[in-house]
Amino acid sequence: MKPFIDPEEIWGFINNAKPSKERVRGIISKSLDKQRLTMEETAVLVQASDPGLVEEIKEGAKILKEKVYGQRIVLFAPLYIGNLCINKCAYCGFKSTNKAIRRITLTNEDLVAQVKALEDAGQKRLILVYGEHPTYDARFIAETVRIVYSVHSGPGEIRRVNINAAPMDIDGFRIIKDSKIGTYQVFQETYHEETYAKVHLGGIKRNYEWRLTALDRAQEAGIDDVGIGALFGLYDWRFEVLGLVRHTNHFEAVYNVGPHTISFPRIQYASQLNIDKSHIVSDAEFTRLVAILRLAVPYTGLILTAREPASIRDEILQFGVSQIDGGTNIEMGGYAKQEQAGAQDIDMEQFQINDNRSLNEIMEELIQHDYIPSFCTSCYRRGRTGEHFMEFSVPGFIKKFCQPNALLTLAEYLEDYAPEATRVMGYNLIQKKLAEMDEDSFKNSLTEKLDLVKEGKRDLYF
């Protein structure tokens, strides 16, 4: 395959960009017209550093969110299955050279206990995370996915299992596909090959191209629901934003469908972190780059994680992030521990997280800000793939499917897991959203379904 990332091309776009007021405004309005941006246009936005223009870009992202996506935020939790790793990623606590880390792979019993604890908190969507190691081959991963789907604690069940694991070959991806995964995520970390070589010091992950083409192999194996990402802080953030846009273009050109999601983890403190600090991304740059990504790829899901503190999360949510994690605990086996999550032991975990609020606290916070927390998995289970694209492009899709399904999953949570105060708050939100809906048969059928949830029926969706 011809390499689709050309650093000279990317730097050419950045260096030649002329971010005049008129040009920046023209580009923002193109995005508000629901058209994706070219690399050249994205380069203009990353070069617009005038504070007034940066504000306009952020405002643009907020308007796009309000115009297109409404108020739902999908919640998920990460679950670390094993931290054995043969690679030497300079930024990661799990690197093979880190002898301070206790290496653990969950046994099947441990895994069941973790999933039960997650279900008991109200989670419905997980992302399973693995180091890169021969132990974690495709069969092992597929088996862990099957176990997760099989666990039921009371009314709890996990309805969607996503994966963040090392690249596979095509046969490996086929095996994983058969276990009915949701999204397969592989982050390129940095699209800049020279930097990539500097931070990946050993193991299979040293091979830039094997990683860059991972999701093409996934596509060939029939996995068309994929997530890309860059680890911000390794190289110039402007280059990485264009790298993500180029990767998206590549998917659209070759497979006719872009990635389902884009992640933008930012480097956090980790045990034996050993990187050149010159590209660390400030809060101001970070919020700006997320707004730019929203405008550049207006129909791709954006995932924000607990790596970021609550204050940053709150700002970025306004730019149309579609998914966040809640109640995150990245300690191996951490969810099933009885005691309250205390301070992180950095020698036990991949990196420092900055938002350790419980799922219920996050739910309350979202509800207070008029967001609808959602555990919806209906598109995936009804075989409607590319739902984010449909939300964006099919008129009425959000009103007809996403919002009602979000309310139904919220009602389930309120019935099964919420303390009384959250329950009251949540039902007030549901009433408010119902009151905002037109009086029609659709509203009636949603009201009927909400009553059924109160009577104990579960997993109802449109």
Query: Should residue 164 be labelled a site residue for ligand SAM when binding is judged by CB under 6 A?
Result: yes
* Residue type at position 374: S
Query: Should residue 268 be labelled a site residue for ligand SAM when binding is judged by CB under 6 A?
Result: yes
Rounded distance, CA 406 to CA 414, Å?
A: 12
Query: Should residue 350 be labelled a site residue for ligand SAM when binding is judged by CB under 6 A?
Result: yes
Name which of 57 and 85 has its Cβ closer to ligand SAM: 85
Q: DSSP assignment, residue 331? A: S
Query: Should residue 92 be labelled a site residue for ligand SAM when binding is judged by CB under 6 A?
Result: yes
Query: Should residue 78 be labelled a site residue for ligand SAM when binding is judged by CB under 6 A?
Result: no
Name which of 2 and 102 has its Cβ closer to ligand SAM: 102
By CB under 6 A, the residues from 188 to 227 that bind ligand SAM are: 189
Backbone angles phi, psi at 431, to 5 degrees: -60, -40
Rounded distance, CA 125 to CA 163, Å?
A: 11
The per-residue DSSP string of 217-245 comes to: HHHHTT---EEEEB-BTSS-HHHHHHHHH
Name which of 351 and 371 has its Cβ closer to ligand SAM: 351
Rounded distance, CA 297 to CA 36, Å?
A: 5
Site residue total, ligand SAM (CB under 6 A): 21
By CB under 6 A, the residues from 97 to 136 that bind ligand SAM are: 129-132
Query: Should residue 265 be labelled a site residue for ligand SAM when binding is judged by CB under 6 A?
Result: yes
* Residue type at position 443: K
Minimal distance, residue 89 CB to ligand SF4, in Å: 3
In the block, which residue shows the tokens 């090392």? 166
Piece of 181-189, 327-335, 427-435, 439-447 that binds ligand SAM (CB under 6 A): 181-189
Minimal distance, residue 211 CB to ligand SAM, in Å: 8
- Of 91, 196, 371, 413, the one binding ligand SAM by CB under 6 A: 91
**53: how many CB neighbours lie within 10 A of its CB?**
20
Minimal distance, residue 221 CB to ligand SAM, in Å: 17
Q: State the residues that interact with ligand SF4 by CB under 6 A.
A: 85, 87, 89, 92, 94-95, 131-132, 205
When CB distances are held under 5 to 8 angstroms depending on the partner's kind, the choice from ligand SF4, ligand SAM, none that residue 267 binds is: ligand SAM
The per-residue DSSP string of 109-126 comes to: HHHHHHHHHHHHHT--EE
Rounded to 10 degrees, the C-alpha dihedral 433/438/439/442 comes to -80
When CB distances are held under 5 to 8 angstroms depending on the partner's kind, the choice from ligand SAM, ligand SF4, none that residue 95 binds is: ligand SF4
Rounded distance, CA 353 to CA 334, Å?
A: 14
Backbone angles phi, psi at 373, to 5 degrees: -65, 135
Piece of 63-71, 140-148, 162-170, 247-255 that binds ligand SAM (CB under 6 A): 162-170
- Of 74, 166, 316, 346, the one binding ligand SAM by CB under 6 A: 166
Give the list of residues 6+ apart from residue 421 with CB closer than 8 angstroms, or none: 364
Name which of 43 and 166 has its Cβ closer to ligand SF4: 166
Which residues, listed in sequence order, are joined to residue 455 by a DSSP beta bridge? Answer: none
When CB distances are held under 5 to 8 angstroms depending on the partner's kind, the choice from ligand SAM, ligand SF4, none that residue 101 binds is: none
When CB distances are held under 5 to 8 angstroms depending on the partner's kind, the choice from ligand SF4, ligand SAM, none that residue 286 binds is: none
Name which of 97 and 311 has its Cβ closer to ligand SF4: 97
- What would you report as the CA-atom Rg of the chain, rounded to the nearest whole angstrom? 21
When CB distances are held under 5 to 8 angstroms depending on the partner's kind, the choice from ligand SF4, ligand SAM, none that residue 250 binds is: none
Number of H helices, E strands in the chain: 20, 9
Are the C-beta atoms of residues 332 and 114 closer than 8 Å to each other?
Answer: no
Minimal distance, residue 136 CB to ligand SAM, in Å: 9
Minimal distance, residue 163 CB to ligand SAM, in Å: 9
When CB distances are held under 5 to 8 angstroms depending on the partner's kind, the choice from ligand SAM, ligand SF4, none that residue 304 binds is: none
Are the C-beta atoms of residues 167 and 217 closer than 8 Å to each other?
Answer: yes
Query: Should residue 140 be labelled a site residue for ligand SAM when binding is judged by CB under 6 A?
Result: no
Give the list of residues 6+ apart from residue 179 with CB closer than 8 angstroms, or none: 141, 142, 143, 145, 146
Strand residue runs (E) in 308-360 = 323-325
When CB distances are held under 5 to 8 angstroms depending on the partner's kind, the choice from ligand SF4, ligand SAM, none that residue 281 binds is: none
Minimal distance, residue 131 CB to ligand SF4, in Å: 4
Rounded distance, CA 368 to CA 372, Å?
A: 10
**386: how many CB neighbours lie within 10 A of its CB?**
17
Name which of 208 and 417 has its Cβ closer to ligand SAM: 208
Are the C-beta atoms of residues 150 and 143 closer than 8 Å to each other?
Answer: no
Chain residues binding ligand SAM by CB under 6 A are: 91-92, 129-132, 164-166, 186-187, 189, 231, 265, 267-268, 270, 273, 307, 350-351
